Structure 1
Amino acid sequence: MDRYLEAYAVMSNWRASHQFPLNTFKINLRERARRIDEHAFVAQRLKRAPSIIAKLSRFPNMRLTQMQDIGGCRAVLSTLHDVTLLRDALKSSRIKHRLVNEKDYITTPKEDGYRGIHLVYRYVSDRKETYNNHSVEIQIRTNLQHAWATAVETVGTLIGQGLKADQGEKVWLDFFALVSAAFAIREGVNGPREFDELRTILREMERELHVIDRLTAFQRVMKAAIADPDRRLAAYFLMVLDARNEEVNVLSYASDEFDQATAEYKRVEEAAKPGVDAVLVVADSAHALRVAYPNYFGDTSLFIAELRNIIADIDQYD
């Protein structure tokens, strides 16, 4: 037990050390994203301990220092064209930080249907050498890709399965992979030849799984409690999702309270209560949290609307 606590402390400290370089990347990402799409939103997060531990378990030879997504920034834009423009703008910029990995999951989606662009940078600075070589992962998605990923996480929480990590019942994994394919057609990535066949299959699967009813019910009952009534000066937000009690608590911290925020983050994670999930993020406002992390609030409105359109009668929507 002592070894576990010691290892957990090392992991927590290493994770917390990513906050400074993460802030640097987020500022640059937000500026560039909003030049391209004024409606773009950007947020950042430190990877959850259960996700770190699960990843190390899946890859036994991986060291903590080799993990590239402990610190992550996410930009969500309106269109695929905007996503491409932002990726190209980041890659052509003259920043000192080194691009060490790039994954185009739009051209070549993951087997589970995940789509998006991932860019991994190594932080490089002459002034803050302490953080040199820390990795930061940038994710770029469209609103529809983000809606899909949100629904995967939300349903995974509801049924207690790690769908996000491609773990769980095959019927659920197949369902989301097919929805991703249908979404890709709607965004113009794939041709429309298979759309009618996809629509028929998804209609049958939705009736079997009651996806829309489940998500709608969860969205309706979720309650959000914001601990700090004055959030104008908040820099960090700790979101704690309690799926069993159908509520999310959001604690906010000022820019000089990062140590306090990480200590509470660690406390919640160490408690490891069933059905409780937490993440420490930086967003422009409490409202932006709902946009950047809708799965914590049960907000799957866009996914539900798009799925309804896909499975509706052909002659009504074609």
Structure 2
Amino acid sequence: MNTSYQIEQIKKLKHTVTRFMMVYKFALDEMETKIEILQQEFQMLHDYNPIEHTKSRLKSPESIMKKLLRKGCDITLPSIRSHIKDIAGLRITCSFLSDIYRVSDLLCGQSDLTVLEIKDYIRNPKPNGYQSLHVLLEVPVFMSDRQERVCVEVQIRTIAMDFWASLEHKIFYKYNQSVPARLLQELKAAADSAAALDRQMERLHKEIGEIKEERHEEAGEEGKRIMINNQQFTIPAPLLALLEDGKE
């Protein structure tokens, strides 16, 4: 086998792998745009943003191969598509428990997305205490010559859940997956404490929301103004009258 043929084969392989990974990257871009729109919509309509921050991750080809081998699957691109569902990952961190399910419902309700699977580790935590809502979504990606349906794993959790999961991962990495039983018990206790904190903050959030709603009803003039892109606009009286007539 001559050198020029080997170089050509490497180029073809590189092109194939790049093209394969590219669609997953574009699927993440599409999801991040959707999240950005939801954030702005909530901020404008409700003066509140249920999403604290997001983080996307594209699995490396090396990690994909290792996972494929652990699963004992064929080393082909169709096999990867079929068996590795978390190549593209998006983590959404919310302030409160109710925000998790609100964001999930909004994403799952979008007509161009297909819900493949939902795993609720909040209502049913893992034995180690891990909590999060995992949603597998199929995202359409429009290329120059074709359309592809790409799987994206979305993890939605609170700040407390994310903090616990991050520290748990660091501890396991430090001990090379062999964590002493005593520390495992403490990690589980910490997860229970984080869950209790989430429930308490959810109650406070609900009560503060009710107080805010009452104050809005009392402040008549406040309801006549809207804020869009940091610009404040006053709603004209005829338009307010028209809206009021529409309620009858």
TM over 0.5: yes
CA shift in 2, pair 1:178/1:129, >3 Å: farther
Instruction: Check if 1:68 corresponds to 2:85.
Output: yes
- Which residue of 2 is the match for residue 37 of structure 1? 49
In the alignment, which of 181, 187, 199 is matched to residue 188 of structure 1?
Answer: 199
Equivalent residue for 1:168? 178
Shift of 1:128: 6.0
What residue identity is the alignment partner of 1:90?
Answer: L
Greater C-alpha Rg? 2
Please, which of 9, 23, 38 is the counterpart of residue 17 of structure 1? Answer: 23
Aligned runs of 1:123-142 on 2, under 5 Å? 123-124=139-140, 130=146, 132-142=148-158
Q: Flag structure 2 segments of 5+ consecutive residues without an equivalent.
A: 1-5, 43-47, 201-248
1:98 aligned partner, one-letter code: T
> In 1, distance between residues paired with 2:133 and 2:180?
26
Q: Indicate the SS of the match to 1:65.
A: helix
Please list the CA deviations of residues 85-109 of structure 1 after superposition, one character each: whole Å capped at 9, or x if unmatched: 1111112223x12111111110111
Q: 2:106 aligns with which of 85, 89, 105?
A: 89
Q: Deviations over 1:169-206 (max 9, x none)?
A: 252444323321221122229xxxxxxxxxxxxxxxxx
In structure 2, give the amino acid aligned to 1:42: T
Contact 1:120/1:136 (CA < 8 Å) preserved in 2? yes
1:83 and 1:61 map into 2 onto residues whose CA distance is 34
Q: Note the 1:1-318 alignment, pairs <5 A.
A: 14-33=20-39, 35=42, 37=49, 40-49=52-61, 51-61=63-73, 63-66=79-82, 67-94=84-111, 96-124=112-140, 130=146, 132-159=148-175, 161=176, 167-171=177-181, 172-188=183-199
Secondary structure, aligned partner of 2:57: strand
Distance (Å, rounded) in 2 between the aligned partners of 1:11 and 1:176: 39
Q: CA RMSD in A?
A: 3.1
Question: Retained in 2: the 8 A contact 1:30–1:42?
Answer: no
Check 1:125–1:157 CA distance in 2 against 1; reply closer, same or farther (3 A cut): closer
Return the TM-score normalized by structure 1: 0.48
C-alpha distance in structure 2 between counterparts of 1:49 and 1:111, whole Å: 30
Q: Which runs of 5+ in 1 are unaligned?
A: 162-166, 190-318
Deviation at 1:73, TM superposition (A): 1.1
Q: Are 1:119 and 1:139, in contact at CA under 8 Å, matched by a contact in 2?
A: yes
Deviations 1:191-235 (A, max 9, x none): xxxxxxxxxxxxxxxxxxxxxxxxxxxxxxxxxxxxxxxxxxxxx
C-alpha distance in structure 1 between counterparts of 2:191 and 2:66, whole Å: 24
What secondary structure is seen at the aligned counterpart in 1 of 2:127?
Answer: coil
The one-letter amino acid of 2:20's match is W
Work out the percentage of aligned pairs sharing the same amino acid: 22
User: Against the structure 1 CA distance between its residues 18 and 39, is the aligned structure 2 distance closer, same or farther, given a 3 Å change threshold?
Assistant: closer
Deviations 1:127-157 (A, max 9, x none): 6674512211111110000101111222233
Change (3 A) 1:51 1:188: farther
Q: Aligned residues, how many?
A: 178
How far did residue 33 of structure 1 move?
Answer: 4.4
24-33 vs 102-111, which moves further: 24-33
Cα pair 1:30 1:75 within 8 Å, conserved: no
In the alignment, the residues of structure 2 paired with residue 81 and residue 129 of structure 1 have an alpha-carbon distance, to the nearest angstrom, of 41
2-structure distance, mates of 1:169, 1:111: 15
Q: What corresponds to 2:219 in structure 1?
A: none
Gap change, CA 1:129 and 1:169, over 3 Å in 2: farther
Tell me, yes or no, if the aligned pair for 1:116 and 1:145 is still in contact at 8 Å. yes
The answer (yes or no) to whether the contact 1:73–1:138 under 8 Å persists in 2 is yes
Q: Residues 54 and 90 of structure 2 are in contact (CA less than 8 Å); yes or no, is this contact kept in structure 1?
A: yes
